[in-house]
Structure 1
């Protein structure tokens, strides 16, 4: 690869996130150096930690982009994800198997995997950072340069960006905030059990290939198998910070005293079950103290991060501010130190991926080979880091809050039973429905009100204002004999045999959600918009208290026939619209279709529980459409207001309730037809695109707002956090099953965009339609 034209980036810290970021830069040919305090790559310190579960949508996503996912899969252990929970007496016990894609890998293995992917000359070993500051000697341009000083007396200069991946006690963090980590009041003390340990069989019986956790109000014990089949033991205790310091009651330098502190008559594990006490007694020296710290959560409030930082809240010290410092970025624990909650390394690696993507978006497709101008590209780097922080800071707050919630849950008097309740309810439910809520008491519009609208005249701008930029289209009411439906065709005059795009919105959703997609597609092809019964200008369906997917599909079938909208069709469906689409196809011949786009769509296997009782508890009465999409929708102000007015209209809500009442019944009806069980693909060779959303994006917003409002108990908050961490992996499994419907398919995970892809990333849907059209050119 040709040498980089961009200036070097300094990465402080050679842990998983620093090395992940280095590897990502390596793939783009961007120059970097990693400065790591370990003296050599052969440092296989016991202190490197235990085993990590790497999540599909965060840690693994970073490894995929880094080109290391295949090697990771060879090293990781999918059979190590089982969890056993019990109380301190062994009286409450439950085991859970995690079927999502979150395999385990030793921290040391992960580090070596990343090291093996990097040129040796890019890593400087034995470099403990002592200070970082501006390079006062460089005056050749207006661009900024940093000077790094190390404990060995050496210095390094010439860096335009310093990335702090230097952990809990980050030196780089001091350039952004003077906030210090806060002791949580808890600590882990780590020991190990080798394969020839006399209590090895006890550990194997308790944890197997996975993890066992025993809980009480003041202490916890975690047993976890490593790749070499040895076990790590983590004693979690509520204790003062000096417990393991020199001279403290559990100072590892005096192991007899430390064991007595754990197991003696007044020890942390005095009244625990004999098998757990035996493991502690037999755990091998040296023990490693691990006091648990976290950054103040107020550091990540909007008040503390807005406009370069302002005063924290009344409970935070004045220095708890986040100041955007040009030329500096933080990753992982340096950015958002939290006590362990299963997300730390995943969030850290995802930080690396997000920052890398933001940098690449500023450099353009040519990456490091683009023409370089110091001052111009310094500004571009600043835009990249600012965009990274805008994404990372809300996620950081949620991460720390989740760790606090889990801490409160684990160390509660009934922590074991509450954890079992959480795992038992959370594993593993997911539904792809919208987050809407409805009130059955709201009546629909009367037919007299609807008939005041002349079906042969273009509606006034106030009812169709978001359509102004479109190709000319005529809105009319089509009489099906039982009721009338609103129909609008957009785009240039349609030629014979040219396809028309037909859009099927999700349950409860107006076609107004699709105005941005329609606007773009209609520049070059025909697009049909229609409102289902009771939505928009459409009349309610008569004598129907409920609306099944089969009935809605039959309604669409009749509309096309009466309105003489001829095939061929490219059908785009969202969410529950995927069920309607598949029912609709059964009413037509397959030759009438040119393609299908399933936008985060439901299947007949969508679970009954939506999406988790914990989500309901945290969500409360939050307006999730406004919360999740108000600041990222692409409809424009007028289009957004028109949508909000429609979807809060009483008649719309009444019609939506009728659909919701048959939501799961329609899934079952589709499944009973055995659509997925036939030998030939149901849709033959008709091109099919599946767009999977980043479902956790919506859930994180709901969680943060719900916690801000005080919604949910500790159990419910931890439960929702667990659900959020699993959601994308479960959704991917279901979304990929849709690919079996056709022989010609494309799958795309739309990273960073929630369930309503068409609202926040309409270009993705447009690209899917273009891909379908290209299949007929090939």
Structure 2
């Protein structure tokens, strides 16, 4: 279908067994090589969390937001519907795009668990993917280090409000009405969030078996990995939980032990994913927690713009690796660079592998 025929505003699209909610905004795609941005939300998260990002991205690109089955405004799957693994999410997304008449190329933007969905989509449809932005992404090794859910974290958190304790509610750029809409959408899909969490270990194992980082699955297509300061979120939860007396001493010690090694583990998992492409870069946000799209959507929008500009330059004979001005330097096509480009300091590290 011609890009001008793609849906705009919010629509309910049948995927055969039920319907998914989606919205497409932004300018019409100017050519058959012009990618559309596809946002893949984290576990239990919803399209309404990304309205601020969509406002920014729609100034320069077509962007699609959608809710997976049982989340947000989408229908729940019928009895017998596959468990909500990342592979099942890919099958749904592909059917959604097909039935909505949305053609490749696709620029996949995955946050947290959504990054695993993006990578599973890359595995099945590599030719459809023009580039990727992985925002504080989960990885295939996540379940090696983190329990989801973690009983020790849950005990210390108790009845604390995550958004209040971490500062997310104060720091978000969403309006009050947008926040309320998001909260209602998330609440409506709580059972599906629990089902996605229950599949997480299996999902990680399935992705690990594909050895995408070793095989450089994205080739030389542009990849941006954003590393947020998720450890800060949980340090705040730990501090407040202990302050109000939540959890046993043993549970607090276990939580503290995890926090003491959290940053090193997180760094390792983010850096490993740069190996997905020979044209990759890392953005490290020291002053932002896990929910980058709610607090600093401008940074995420800029990282979406970089691979779009890259593919546009290639189509028009431009130089590869031209990125936004915040970058230390362009990415070398032969030696992947890890670029720490946002925060009070900046340095460049070169990976030998």
**TM-score (structure 1 length as normaliser):** 0.38
Structure 2 partner of 1:642: 181
| Superposition deviation, residue 499 in structure 1 | 1.4
Q: Distance in 2 between matches of 1:715 and 1:583?
A: 38
Aligned ranges 1:584-603 → 2 under 5 Å? 584-590=121-127, 592-603=128-139
Aligned ranges 1:355-370 → 2 under 5 Å? none
Aligned ranges 1:280-429 → 2 under 5 Å? none
Q: Distance in 2 between matches of 1:754 and 1:524?
A: 26
Structure 2 partner of 1:614: 152
DSSP-derived class of the 1:764 partner: helix
DSSP-derived class of the 2:142 partner: coil
Q: Aligned match of 2:118 in 568, 581, 584?
A: 581
Against the structure 1 CA distance between its residues 552 and 626, is the aligned structure 2 distance closer, same or farther, given a 3 Å change threshold? farther
Which one has a larger percent helix, Structure 1 or Structure 2?
2
Structure 1 partner of 2:169: 630
> Quick check: 1:546 aligned with 2:83?
yes
Aligned ranges 1:591-740 → 2 under 5 Å? 592-608=128-144, 609-610=146-147, 613-628=151-166, 629-649=168-188, 652-678=189-215, 681-740=216-275
CA contact (8 A) 1:696 1:725 kept: no
Against the structure 1 CA distance between its residues 722 and 661, is the aligned structure 2 distance closer, same or farther, given a 3 Å change threshold? closer
Q: Distance in 1 between matches of 2:214 and 2:59?
A: 40
Deviations, residues 683-735 of structure 1 (Å, cap 9, x unaligned): 10110001111112101221122123211233433443343232122100011
DSSP-derived class of the 2:212 partner: coil
Q: Distance in 2 between matches of 1:761 and 1:581?
A: 21
> Quick check: 1:508 aligned with 2:44?
yes
Structure 2 partner of 1:570: 107
Deviations, residues 200-222 of structure 1 (Å, cap 9, x unaligned): xxxxxxxxxxxxxxxxxxxxxxx
| Superposition deviation, residue 599 in structure 1 | 0.7
Greater alpha carbon shift after TM alignment, 717-726 vs 514-523: 717-726
Deviations, residues 84-137 of structure 1 (Å, cap 9, x unaligned): xxxxxxxxxxxxxxxxxxxxxxxxxxxxxxxxxxxxxxxxxxxxxxxxxxxxxx
Against the structure 1 CA distance between its residues 567 and 545, is the aligned structure 2 distance closer, same or farther, given a 3 Å change threshold? closer
Against the structure 1 CA distance between its residues 634 and 723, is the aligned structure 2 distance closer, same or farther, given a 3 Å change threshold? same
Q: Distance in 1 between matches of 2:126 and 2:255?
A: 43
| Superposition deviation, residue 525 in structure 1 | 1.4
Q: Distance in 2 between matches of 1:498 and 1:565?
A: 12
Q: Distance in 1 between matches of 2:259 and 2:161?
A: 19
CA contact (8 A) 1:554 1:587 kept: no
Q: Aligned match of 1:521 in 48, 57, 75?
A: 57
CA contact (8 A) 1:557 1:587 kept: no
Structure 2 partner of 1:49: none
| Superposition deviation, residue 623 in structure 1 | 2.8
Deviations, residues 332-388 of structure 1 (Å, cap 9, x unaligned): xxxxxxxxxxxxxxxxxxxxxxxxxxxxxxxxxxxxxxxxxxxxxxxxxxxxxxxxx
Deviations, residues 734-754 of structure 1 (Å, cap 9, x unaligned): 111000110000101111211
Structure 2 partner of 1:485: 20
Q: Distance in 2 between matches of 1:602 and 1:712?
A: 27
CA contact (8 A) 2:73 2:185 kept: no
Determine which structure has more spread, i.e. the larger CA radius of gyration.
1
User: Which ranges in structure 1 are unaligned for 5 or more consecutive residues?
Assistant: 1-471
**TM-score (structure 2 length as normaliser):** 0.81
RMSD of equivalent CA atoms: 1.9
CA contact (8 A) 2:38 2:107 kept: yes
Deviations, residues 372-428 of structure 1 (Å, cap 9, x unaligned): xxxxxxxxxxxxxxxxxxxxxxxxxxxxxxxxxxxxxxxxxxxxxxxxxxxxxxxxx
Deviations, residues 423-470 of structure 1 (Å, cap 9, x unaligned): xxxxxxxxxxxxxxxxxxxxxxxxxxxxxxxxxxxxxxxxxxxxxxxx
| Superposition deviation, residue 537 in structure 1 | 2.2
Q: Distance in 1 between matches of 2:56 and 2:125?
A: 28
Q: Which one has more relative contact order, counting CA pairs under 8 Å at least 6 apart? A: 2
CA contact (8 A) 2:82 2:88 kept: no
Q: Distance in 2 between matches of 1:587 and 1:545?
A: 18
Q: Distance in 1 between matches of 2:193 and 2:40?
A: 14
Against the structure 1 CA distance between its residues 623 and 546, is the aligned structure 2 distance closer, same or farther, given a 3 Å change threshold? farther
Structure 2 partner of 1:530: 66
| Superposition deviation, residue 626 in structure 1 | 4.2
Structure 1 partner of 2:333: none
Structure 2 partner of 1:752: 287
DSSP-derived class of the 2:39 partner: strand
